[in-house]
């Protein structure tokens, strides 16, 4: 079997709080993403999804400290922090930011802003870079002539497309998309997702899709990981997660998604809120909200294999390991 394109092992992120304490935002996340794979990272707000991928990009603020291994194509990008990460940023790993519609400088033309990463990373310059900017726009479904437009002349969906074009500027192997469809209407959402799927298919790009929108993950991704309180609750093929969840959080998360075929069925919310991360968590972090918590849950569960490529961190799986 080929080694995975991206291998994250035991990634931790801490943030310094102003009062001297720490917030342990990402608590030992391990992921594998194969070449050309579409991988979904789902979870509630504040569970560490965005922090995880910002750590992969090395874009965390000075208040953050990071530990763990992030192996891309055989090389540990985090080995010496920024020094080993910088050569890969945008060249190998590119990102579509959350709220990317607002990620453009309002007073510069879209084309000029697309040229910027190419020149910074020595991919193309001058006329060649401008030609490439036009090609990238065409690639995401915007006429090349629109490179002369200003961001405010684009609609929200077009700006999101342009943001994707910018992520493609240096031919990355891995694209990180942070909530790429938030704040877009459903039609545009569908088009953006179609575009991302087409790009991964045609360019052989791997995609890590961060979202809280489960149906989108179910439609586009082959594998997914469910995050809770900075940890992985469960990871595996999307189909398996949907039909045979082995962690109550995954099950409740899918149950909390309204179903079009079953309009009579109730949408069930998960009561309570995720635990605070600025203090140690004892036992299973989901225990206070779990409908099936039992005595063993006072001990923190480990992520164990429960099926083919399917891992879950829940004591209910004790004795049914694959």
Interface residues toward other proteins, by CB under 8 A: 10, 12, 14, 18-19, 55, 58-62, 64-68, 78, 80-82, 85-86
Query: Shortest gap between Cβ of 123 and other proteins (angstroms)?
Result: 20
Q: Is 37 helix (H, G, I), strand (E, B) or coil?
A: coil
Burial class (CB in 10 A: 0-12, 13-18, 19+), 1: exposed
Candidates 124, 222, 215; CA nearest to 168 is: 124
Query: Shortest gap between Cβ of 59 and other proteins (angstroms)?
Result: 6
Nearer to other proteins, 85 or 225 (CB): 85
Nearer to other proteins, 55 or 241 (CB): 55
Q: How many residues can be counted in the chain? A: 322
Nearer to other proteins, 10 or 119 (CB): 10
Query: Shortest gap between Cβ of 74 and other proteins (angstroms)?
Result: 20
Query: Can you tell me the distance from the alpha carbon of 319 to that of 322, in angstroms, rounded to the nearest whole number?
Result: 9
Nearer to other proteins, 246 or 287 (CB): 287
Nearer to other proteins, 28 or 237 (CB): 28
Query: Shortest gap between Cβ of 64 and other proteins (angstroms)?
Result: 4
113 CB contacts (<8 Å, ≥6 apart)?
104, 105, 166
Strands 231-237 and 223-228 come out as antiparallel
Query: Shortest gap between Cβ of 24 and other proteins (angstroms)?
Result: 11
Kindly provide the residue ranges of all beta strands, DSSP E only, lying in 146-218, ordered along the sequence: 174-178, 206-211
Nearer to other proteins, 163 or 192 (CB): 163
Query: Shortest gap between Cβ of 270 and other proteins (angstroms)?
Result: 15
Nearer to other proteins, 60 or 255 (CB): 60
Query: Shortest gap between Cβ of 54 and other proteins (angstroms)?
Result: 9
Alpha carbon separation from 263 to 257, 258, 269 (Å, rounded): 12, 8, 16
Nearer to other proteins, 68 or 73 (CB): 68
Query: Shortest gap between Cβ of 283 and other proteins (angstroms)?
Result: 16
Question: Beta-carbon neighbour count of residue 290 at 10 Å?
Answer: 19
Strand order in the sheet with 223-228: 93-96, 174-178, 206-211, 38-42, 223-228, 231-237, 310-312, 304-307
CA triplet 122, 207, 95: central angle to 5 degrees? Answer: 45
Backbone angles phi, psi at 177, to 5 degrees: -120, 115
């Amino acid at each position: 079997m080929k080694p995975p394109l991206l291998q994250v092992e035991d990634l931790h992120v801490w943030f310094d709080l102003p009062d001297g304490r720490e917030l342990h935002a990402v608590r030992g996340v391990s992921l594998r993403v194969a070449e050309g794979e579409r991988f979904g990272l789902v979870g509630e707000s504040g569970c560490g999804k965005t922090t995880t991928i910002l750590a992969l990009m090395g874009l965390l603020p000075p208040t953050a400290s990071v530990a763990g291994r992030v192996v891309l194509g055989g090389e540990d990008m985090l080995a010496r922090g920024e020094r080993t990460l910088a050569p890969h940023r945008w060249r190998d790993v590119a990102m579509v930011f959350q709220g990317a519609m607002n990620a453009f400088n309002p007073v510069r033309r879209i084309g000029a802003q697309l040229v910027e990463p190419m020149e910074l990373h020595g991919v193309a310059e001058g006329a060649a870079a401008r030609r490439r900017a036009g090609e990238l726009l065409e690639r995401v479904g915007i006429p090349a002539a629109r490179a002369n437009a200003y961001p405010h002349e684009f609609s929200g969906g077009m700006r999101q497309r342009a943001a994707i074009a910018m992520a493609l500027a240096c031919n990355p192997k891995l694209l990180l998309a942070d909530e790429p469809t938030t704040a877009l209407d459903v039609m545009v959402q569908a088009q953006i997702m179609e575009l991302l799927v087409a790009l991964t298919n045609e360019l052989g790009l791997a995609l890590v899709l961060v979202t809280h929108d489960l149906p989108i993950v179910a439609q586009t991704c082959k594998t997914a990981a469910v995050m809770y309180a900075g940890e992985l609750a469960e990871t595996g093929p999307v189909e398996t997660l949907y039909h045979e969840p082995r962690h109550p959080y995954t099950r409740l998360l899918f149950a909390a998604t309204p179903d079009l075929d079953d309009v009579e069925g109730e949408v069930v919310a998960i009561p309570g809120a995720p635990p605070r991360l600025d203090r140690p968590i004892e036992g299973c972090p989901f225990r206070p909200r779990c409908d099936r918590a039992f005595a063993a849950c006072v001990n923190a569960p480990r992520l164990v294999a429960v099926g083919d490529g399917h891992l879950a961190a829940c004591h209910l799986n004790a004795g049914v390991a694959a």
